[in-house]
Chain A
């Protein structure tokens, strides 16, 4: 009886974790896979890069962060976890930056557009569902439901995910 209870609980926990990961895909922060276009990004710098507080990398190359559109679920999560605010509340901030001559990150409409932008733009940084990473881009930071990691977590990508 006790064994049955423990194994049932284990199954429930396993199912819950599967459901949670299905709802919250791991986000991969990506840079170009091409050596000429790639750039290094530290986990601690990610927020500064997306707030456009850090405009250059350590070699003096200008950084080009890109966002998904403001209503994209990955943008909302990225914004929440990395920037600690939602895109709607950032309107005032970006107006302020515009006043100082600083443009917000470039916006793309889809994850495929993000891959193309990052792959072929020098020092570009973007983010997509970690299961959609392909050979054109290189993941450098991973964002799970509650952590920002410099090492890849174990991914559960379904067969349907390209």
Chain B
């Protein structure tokens, strides 16, 4: 554990020192293109059927480089599960590991087209692309966004934004290029990932003073699981965001079939966040997941989230429903998340 922490801290310090010492000797503007940030979160889960656990979930370091040219760089190095505590195991770091969550270069081809090469989050839906704890209202993540498709891939993506009238069409087309054999998490790994997402922003063109963002996205993807004989999957999905007055309503739904047309799972969620007062939000979510080889799961969630500062969230939630999934246990959870 100490080794991992030490390595992480040393990496940050050495990167900073490297930047500082070289800035004096090299072209300062190159090094001024770097920015360092990150996020972290800690949570306490009291599940109905498992042991209570206090967990430092991650320490994430985001390094970007943008010197005002067509080329940009982005990386996210993450120390996962640095520390956990439960009454059986005490304080431990058995589940900790470091990995590159994202690592890519963006190149601008023209005003409406960009190319991304490297490792990036699979552009399916909203939650998967914005899953960092300081960006989401709840401690738990909807099952459908973790069980049905790959969360990241190594490859190429073409993306851009095309304005029309007062709206805009956002597109992302991606294909896996490099197959990674590393299995970094206790989760299904995938190969031959290809697909696209089309989203229309400002669909409703609200003009009221209480209007907010509204987006609808269509997702299509194909992939296989990383084992011999895995069927090819075809996934289609829909996601949306609607903000109006004190409400934010989001949802995603997916249906997955094999290439032969057999049912290979489906699921979705519908979530509302309502601003009560003083940056306290009431959160409600309904979700379901159907997998052919596992029991169906339904979940309801009710929670309260306080935006302490624009970059800090404090969350409390109760989760109930049917079906056991380790990632989203039923019970109580609270967490604090910060972006820096």
Contacts and interface: CB of A to CB of B under 8 A. Distances in A.
Interface of A: 44-45, 47-48, 51, 53-58, 60, 62, 80-81, 84-86, 89-93, 95-96, 98-101
A84 B135 contact: no
Interface string B157-201: 000010111101010000000000000000000000000000001
Instruction: Determine the interface band of chain B, counting residues with CB < 8 A from chain A.
Output: 35 or more
A48 B160 CA distance: 11
A129 to B, nearest CB: 20
A9 to B, nearest CB: 29
Contacts of B243: 85, 89
Contacts of B211: 80, 84-85
B110 A58 contact: yes
28 contacts: A44-B163, A44-B165, A47-B166, A47-B202, A53-B161, A53-B170, A54-B111, A57-B111, A58-B111, A80-B207, A80-B209, A80-B211, A84-B166, A85-B212, A85-B243, A86-B209, A89-B213, A90-B213, A91-B310, A92-B248, A95-B135, A95-B310, A95-B311, A95-B339, A96-B130, A99-B339, A101-B64, A101-B72
B161 A54 contact: yes
Contact of B213 (A44, A93, A99): A93
A130 B1 CA distance: 61
B163 A99 contact: no
B64 A85 contact: no
Nearest to A93: B213
Does more than half of chain B's interface fall in helix, strand or loop, or is it mixed? strand
A92 B135 contact: yes
Interface of B: 35, 37, 39, 62, 64, 66, 68-70, 72, 74, 108, 110-112, 129-130, 132, 134-135, 161, 163-166, 168, 170, 201-202, 205-207, 209, 211-213, 243, 248, 307, 310-311, 339
Considering residues B111, B166, B170, B310, which has the most beta carbons from chain A within 10 angstroms of its beta carbon? B111
A48 B206 CA distance: 16
Contacts of A54: 111-112, 161, 163
